[in-house]
Amino acid sequence: MPFDLQEAVKSTPLRSLRSTTPVVALGSGVTLLAVLNVLRTARIPAYALGPQSDFVRYSRWYRPLPTTVSITHAAELPELLETLTLEEAILLPCSDDWLSAVANLPEPLSRRFPSSTCGPSVGALVDKWRFAELLQRFQVPHPQTCLLTSCDQLATHDFEFGEAILKPLSSVDFVSKRGVKGYMAGSRAEALGSARCSPGKGYACCPRSWGTAQRPSA
């Protein structure tokens, strides 16, 4: 069945919350830090949940989520939420893995801990190729994008590199291992060198040109 973003948004229930309902920001690094700063400026009570080693813990705006449970992966979020004494809270994911975890919460937890996440749409947004296909479908101008699934395909593809980005379809595991979200590639040789340095499950990449945005044909 083809994915319908508009129907997914329409089917997402709305609800009212008390003005004192806190936000739980999920993530790490500069993104989480920026979110906490925005929430503080807006005077919205907020807690944070992220890696124990994250520098954000040293921020004056950091308030740890009141829990004794420790998790190492975003997929363990349901188990942690079950233990919280908070009556309710808004979940604000700050990375793709947390976004997916929030989108896949079982209904009892998603009602107690709502978010602005439209569950059915998440898969199309965090997967770089599915997102490119979505832009094409709705005729949104976007960089020229192609799907490459192996070094052999990369070596023979007729894509004009120039200055391009090799972007893994799922960036979370890639970032944790490489510390970057993708590679700049000025030539096919550079692209092949980068790809061969990053083999494994998350290798599939989307090269994206920095040139004129591609406008889908009518």
pLDDT in tens, 136-145: 889 998 777 7
Nearest C-alpha neighbor of 166 from the set 154, 152, 179: 154
Number of helices (H), then strands (E), belonging to the chain: the values are: 10, 6
Q: Hey, which residues does 49 pair with through a beta bridge? A: 26
Whether this model's pTM surpasses 0.95: no
CA atoms within 13 A on the CB side of 65: 28
**Domains of the chain with CATH codes:** 5-124 (3.40.50), 128-209 (3.30.1490)
Q: Residues 6 or more apart from 205 whose CB is under 8 A from it?
A: 148, 154, 166, 167, 168, 169, 182, 195
The percentage of the chain sitting over the pLDDT mark of 70, rounded to a whole number, equals 72
| Residues 99, 118 contacting (CB under 8 angstroms) | no
